[in-house]
Structure 1
């Protein structure tokens, strides 16, 4: 016989297999005809031996039935016959109210022997019939013949498919020795399992490497439906249950046929697994003398462990944000549950870890289930978490209660975290749970962090020792509306040098954030301004007109600006203030189940070190390069080879391509170049090139050496000593040009000329 794989819940079966069917009635002028119950029967159903069949009831409705001797006919469809063992000609039925006149396979003719009064009397015809090939609904047809009865068709039975269905309430995940949920074997039709009183068996077979627990007995079986009727099954003497390895045999017999569909309930079954048993679904094969063979998934075999799932969408948080609004620091909720009951071990450690750029401010634990102490009291999981939360670490550690009560049900709880994140870090906030208690959760993303603002600008080249060197516009764009907090300050802080003491122009080019105009202030290397109204549309702020003052001690490289301030970053150390105090004032700082108490005498929110709860030593979210120092400070010159091409205004310093206003040229075997570019090539800053217009004399200073030459003169003076040249400095196209080799070598540089490529390299 073919086997079908079935996984059905109790609810599904109740809805689809044994759903009650409405009684069939027809309203008529004379009688109301009713079938008292519609049977579900097998395709070989025989009601002959039933003590309590269903009935066709004919009630006097609008009139008394006063005529006796009238006949009427009841007809069955093809494939259904009247039982010859009950309906015999001349037999009185229904308390002698009716007589069987004749019976064929499909037609039954009855005669009325007694009168009945309207709204009080009725005729009852027991429906003894046999099924022989019919399918679907079985209907009886009432033909009134010469009587005053009302005619019509009425459903008396429905023919089912198999004899039984098997189901389990739910598919549980179990460990070795675990108990599966309740099973059920239902007849699909009346008398489906009845076999005349002979013994029969139902066998439940597990896969190899699984065995039924030896303690299973008849006490694990209970009866339902028609099987509970007196005298149907003698449970004490005629029902046995035998577990042997992977087979469970239920042996029973019927003393008589039930009048209703019956059910076997099988409860409390336990399954043992050996070392070779594989994790996954456990299927049971159901076979027997009369039951329909089937395969049903009864459980999942799993290893000890923990499952974690997110109960909502992963939120996006702003880096450095810390306010009195929980949503600014709240992660998604995580459901943590055992994969197998008993996975979590009492008295063992649990370690919760976040990235190093995260600090845990609190937790919110809810819906804890089956986490009880030995007395059955619920353990407060939130108290366990809070025992190690100080707001200063990315880790939490605690122990499960040592008196944790063992249970057959899986433990679980939901938890969301409240976190403070380092201002200059973006990325996924992950949580990882581990430890000896058996609660193992791989890294799970519970929030995403983005910078509150994006900063854009273009770098400019600047030189040491020069003031008011203009910078490009700095554009600050909010990542979301309200990213810049009202009544707070935005700060731009230089890494080197100072801003020129001149008020820049700050405008809002997009969105509707408000700037407090009179708050704009430049103080050395720091520019600040205040927000006068949070945006309801993400906004863009443009800072224009900034300039840079550099002294001669600034090293080569980038000059950066740090963009921060408490309008953007709220979890900085803030000097003498505390982040939680700035956010909550004199109120307690509450994050879910975690509370930091305010103490007027010591308002430091549980301080024990230099960094307080939720704080980081970072007061900016973005560091952006605004300039590049292209000339080194005195004494720190780094000579980069410079390459010039005869006749070309394009040259290279290192790998950087640049342009000059007068091209190098060769005259009398000497290469001439403008003074400015010769100085750059040999590493002399612009402020160390002096020009005396009156005497037409150029002076070069490098590393304590001084070189001078005069337009029209072939004498080069180095530290007071005269050196003769074969070519003199001259003026060309309004620019003073000098012979490169003499000046370069006099100040310690080397010059190489490539005849083939017409290039001069100075280094």
Structure 2
């Protein structure tokens, strides 16, 4: 039996080994190109144009990678580097290096070092009795159509859609070659199977060994794991009861329930010998495995090897191949040893490779006249008429070309109008300068010591003059005063060195005393899925639910007044699960400045109290959370940086705006995260009669996964109809789209429909619930009923513990039932009543089938006018239609009913009970003034606005009147304030 099974699978496997698409080298590798250490030189300094020594470097940095093998060979990526206005020197061939993100030299590695994942065919016990038995009794097609399975053992019901299997079971053969019926063969096989089970259980008998091989009384199963592709051509490993077993590419592995493992090649002759030796375990095959693809995934190993091969230098072109697996962060570097053709123009480099999208004419040698640049690391804030130190890194004046700065050059720094320099000691590259101050201008002379000071020269031998007020201490940076400058004005220093052209740099800005809320603009907003807890139960996403860092910072020391409280707000439906204070500085308590650690803890405590005070919806900070800061006590503005861990109600979608407001701060907000929904539900309104059983719902419920493979295995989705007055029949059908790879199971009862994820999708899936039927009895009030949904995600979300939680009780296992818990105001389920409805009017219960079809007369009812129009006839009325104080359009009941064709004597009024009654056909409608319910044939129907008596006339709302007299086509024109009944060409509302 094992031999037969193996031969069949070998044929299927051979077909499956053909890849769907061939791998194109470089197609799945993306890299960026840039020049590091580019030269800027004066023409004279370039001399003969030879670029040697500490040369510029071309770097190709891998930004994304998805490596694959073809035919067992490593991927190869080709690179062509071309120079313009230069030719390569021969030694450039030896200047190619390849390192990983940590700088380790990959050319010195010893292994391909990749983690390999393969697809395999698996035959599990649950298919053994069906697929294998069918093959043994004569169905030669029984094992055809086996699907390739990736990282799973689950082949349950694989044959459900294999029509060939169902058509070919016609004849069978027993062990002696005699033809027998399918039934007889199956009975004989079952008897043999049962005997093996019995003997194994009794630990004795002729079938004991066979039964134990089948796994009776055994619970160990095989576990498939990744295995590193190594030099011994080992592709795969399986961990079972007896430990790891390695198989080569041209072998198959059989694992028995009893824990034994056997490895065999594809060669039929060898198999014959093996089967004869191991015939005692014929019935014991549980799993058959083989390698099918060469897909490579995972993280690189420490001994990974990547090399540059086929290197060729020819004039201005350098070509080479990169062999091996590349990963994000890897860097391929080329030292640009070369000789310029003309020293009067720039030298550039271009890259041609499938890895690099665009890299043309990158300048690596720039020819320039003498000059310099001016810079500060960061502009500072200053209040009107206040003094401030520029950034502590100092003002930097840097040569653009070597030898632009000379000893005895005069340096002039001049501030624009409204600012002036404060007289302080000034140091240049650590050397004290002889400075002359004149209001908004200061001058000094460059000395040899400044030019030769430690740190003055960069790697390109260009001098930088760093100008500060002091070296060390608190007063680093130049000191300036906003002398008459208004709010919004910017301080600019214009610098001149010797006879070089002047350059300018912005160093400060005049601001009001205020607090500014900000985030890092270079960071993308993190995407979080709404309706899930921080553990992402029900989905495969690994988001940590954290926002980007949010900073609150004074524009100037003392700007943040703590005399009044302030709030940090969140959108409705968004809640905080945790707060992480990243940094806090220049805050005071009891007149003393808090150190970094104490300040962070003080803010952490303040956040916790504020969230409690905000009822777990916003942060409400009280008065004097910290001291007001006297500007003489703090050199720098106060600043706090924090991160919020957020969750959001199901259905919340879009940016999270975190707000900041208070009596003494400007109201503002920032976008700190983005929420997406893990699923979308599509459903339509269904108008259904109420006196029939097995009422078919004519439309489907469609549930869409919003990202590939997002729903976790066993994630559950449950649908019910609000109020539980309408019951489902158990005939609904659940279908997942075939292309997604998603598989589901379903359960049904009268109250709800449920499906669970059995196999995670390969791409975003769609699940369709169709063929739904309802049981509706005559006691169900007419009207609209919503479709509601719950899921594994929402169950976990309900039980999410909020920030600043004080409840010591454990969350119940089902995440919902908190009855009996004390201090229950700390969980999501206790602070939010989010909308579980996914379709407001999924079921619209209308009249019974025996009701008349309604009326066709077109009626026009203008609000405020003492007439209505029935067809072409204008009918005068004594009390016009009106809009009540709740916004409902109220129509005169009798006038409209008579206009539709109901006899005037069939519209009754009982003064004693203040009840109006309409009789027509088989319908009796009664309604009492002031009641919120009317009765149609004895059934209670909720009304929108109730019955109103105005000028002794009975009025019903536009909608309620339509329900009462069975008019379905009702339109309201807000512009003309007119109601239209039975105007089919108008859009119904």
Q: TM-score, normalised by structure 2?
A: 0.40
CA distance in structure 2 between the aligned counterparts of 1:13 and 1:270, rounded to whole angstroms? 33
Q: Could you tell me how far apart the structure 2 residues matched to 1:601 and 1:482 are? A: 29
Instruction: Tell me, in whole angstroms, the C-alpha distance in 2 between the residues paired with 1:612 and 1:702.
Output: 50
Aligned to 1:629: 845
Alpha-carbon distance in structure 1 between the residues aligned to 2:712 and 2:451: 78
Is residue 179 of structure 1 aligned with residue 389 of structure 2?
yes
Q: Shift of residue 463 of structure 1?
A: 1.9
Task: Select the residue among 397, 406, 409 that pairs with 2:620.
Answer: 397
- Inter-CA distance 311–507: structure 2 relative to 1 (3 Å threshold): same
Q: Which string of whole-angstrom CA distances, capped at 9 and with x for unpartnered residues, describes residues 416-469 of structure 1?
A: 32222122443332211233675x683323333333322234443312333322
Structure 1 residues not aligned, in runs of 5+: 1-11, 25-134, 137-158, 196-200, 229-234, 573-578, 581-588, 645-653, 656-679, 684-698, 706-746, 751-759
Secondary structure of the corresponding residue to residue 522 of structure 1:
coil
Root-mean-square deviation (CA, aligned residues, Å) is 5.5
The residue aligned with 1:419 is 646
The corresponding residue for 1:502 is 730
Instruction: Specify which of 151, 170, 194 is matched with residue 377 of structure 2.
Output: 170
Tell me how far 1:395 sits from its aligned partner: 0.8
Q: Distance in 1 between matches of 2:647 and 2:509?
A: 40
Distance 1:559 1:483, change over 3 A: farther
Query: Where do 1:432-511 residues align within 5 Å?
Result: 432-435=659-662, 442-471=668-697, 472-481=699-708, 484=711, 486-487=713-714, 489-495=716-722, 497-510=725-738, 511=740
Supply the distance in 2 between the matched residues of 1:601 and 1:458 (Cα, whole angstroms). 37
CA distance in 1, matches of 2:605, 2:966: 73
Answer with 599-608 or 466-475: which moved more. 599-608
Q: Is residue 338 of structure 1 aligned with residue 547 of structure 2? A: no
Cross-structure match for 1:205: 414
Provide the C-alpha distance between the structure 2 equivalents of 1:330 and 1:262, rounded to a whole number of angstroms.
Answer: 44
Q: Post-superposition shift, 1:271?
A: 1.9
Report the counterpart of residue 504 of structure 2 in structure 1.
296
Mapping of 1:527-542 within 5 angstroms?
A: 527-532=753-758, 534-535=760-761, 537-542=763-768
Q: What is the distance in 2 between the residues matched to 1:623 and 1:437?
A: 44
Q: CA deviation at 1:299?
A: 0.5
Displacement after TM superposition at 1:565 (Å): 3.7
**Contact 1:429/1:447 (<8 A) preserved:** yes
Alpha-carbon deviation of 1:279? 2.4
Superposed counterparts of 1:135-534, under 5 Å: 167-175=374-382, 176-181=386-391, 182-183=394-395, 192=406, 194=408, 203-213=412-422, 216-217=423-424, 219-221=425-427, 239=434, 241-244=436-439, 246-248=440-442, 265-267=467-469, 268-277=477-486, 279=488, 281-286=490-495, 292=500, 294-303=502-511, 304-306=514-516, 307-310=518-521, 312-325=523-536, 327=542, 330-336=545-551, 338=553, 340-342=555-557, 345=560, 347=562, 349-368=565-584, 374=593, 376-378=595-597, 379-380=599-600, 381-390=603-612, 393-398=616-621, 400-402=625-627, 406-409=633-636, 412=639, 414-435=641-662, 442-471=668-697, 472-481=699-708, 484=711, 486-487=713-714, 489-495=716-722, 497-510=725-738, 511-517=740-746, 519-523=747-751, 526-532=752-758, 534=760
Question: CA 1:456–1:177 in 2, change beyond 3 Å: closer, same or farther?
Answer: same
The structure with the largest alpha-carbon Rg is: 1
Structure 2: distance between partners of 1:538 and 1:435:
44
Q: Secondary structure at the match of 1:384?
A: helix
Aligned-partner SS, 1:570: helix
Q: CA distance change for structure 1 residues 629 and 256 in 2, over 3 Å: closer, same or farther? A: closer
Q: How does 1:524-603 map to 2 (within 5 A)?
A: 526-532=752-758, 534-535=760-761, 537-552=763-778, 554=780, 556-572=782-798, 579-580=799-800, 598-599=808-809
Structure 1 residue 353: Cα displacement = 0.8
What is the alpha-carbon distance in structure 2 between the residues aligned to residue 534 and residue 429 of structure 1?
29
Cα deviation, residue 633, structure 1: 12
368-377 vs 498-507, which deviates more? 368-377
Three-state SS of the structure 2 residue aligned to 1:388 is helix
1:103-155 per-position Cα deviation (integer Å, ceiling 9, x unaligned): xxxxxxxxxxxxxxxxxxxxxxxxxxxxxxxx99xxxxxxxxxxxxxxxxxxx
- Structure 2 CA distance for aligned equivalents of residues 631 and 482 of structure 1: 44
Q: Return the structure number with greater helix share.
A: 2
Q: Secondary structure at the match of 2:611?
A: coil
CA contact (8 A) 1:515 1:530 kept: yes
In 2, Cα distance between equivalents of 1:479 and 1:516:
20
- Distance of aligned partners of 1:599 and 1:208 in 2 relative to their CA distance in 1, 3 Å threshold: same
Does the 8 Å contact 2:493/2:507 carry over to 1? no
- Listed as ranges, the gaps of 5+ residues in structure 2 are 1-35, 49-342, 345-366, 454-462, 470-476, 859-869, 872-899, 904-919, 927-963, 968-980, 984-989
CA distance in 2, matches of 1:509, 1:257: 74
Inter-CA distance 211–564: structure 2 relative to 1 (3 Å threshold): same
The alpha-carbon deviation at position 498 of structure 1 amounts to 1.3
**Cα 1:463–1:340, aligned 2, differ >3 Å: closer, same or farther?**
same
Report the count of equivalent residues: 475
- 1:608 equivalent among 810, 815, 823: 823
TM-score, with structure 1 as normaliser: 0.50
Change (3 A) 1:601 1:206: closer
1:279 aligned counterpart, secondary structure: coil
2:942 corresponding residue in structure 1: none
The alpha-carbon deviation at position 536 of structure 1 amounts to 5.2
Q: 1:642 aligns with which of 845, 849, 856?
A: 856
Deviation of 1:314 (Å): 2.3
CA–CA distance in structure 1, aligned partners of residues 643 and 464 of structure 2: 49
Question: Are residues 1:701 and 2:922 paired?
Answer: yes
Distance 1:749 1:392 in 2: 48
Contact 1:362 1:417 in 2 (8 A): yes
Compared CA separation, residues 401 and 534, structure 1 to 2 (3 A): farther
Q: Deviations over 1:483-531 (max 9, x none)?
A: 55555643212136412443423233343444444x32223xx334555
The CA distance in 1 between the partners of 2:558 and 2:758, in whole Å, is 55
Query: Matched residue of 2:593: which SS?
Result: coil
The whole-number CA distance in structure 2 between the counterparts of 1:704 and 1:271 is 86
Indicate the larger mover: 416-425 or 326-335: 326-335
**Higher fraction of strand:** 1
> In the aligned structure 2, how far is the partner of 1:628 from the partner of 1:599?
43
In 1, distance between residues paired with 2:406 and 2:418?
33
In the aligned structure 1, how far is the partner of 2:451 from the partner of 2:759? 81
Moved more, 557-566 or 529-538: 529-538
**Distance change in 2, residues 1:206/1:270 (3 Å):** same
Separation in structure 2 between the aligned mates of residue 629 and residue 534 of structure 1, nearest angstrom: 37
* Pair 371,482 (structure 1): closer, same or farther in 2 beyond 3 Å: farther
What's 1:141 paired with?
Answer: none
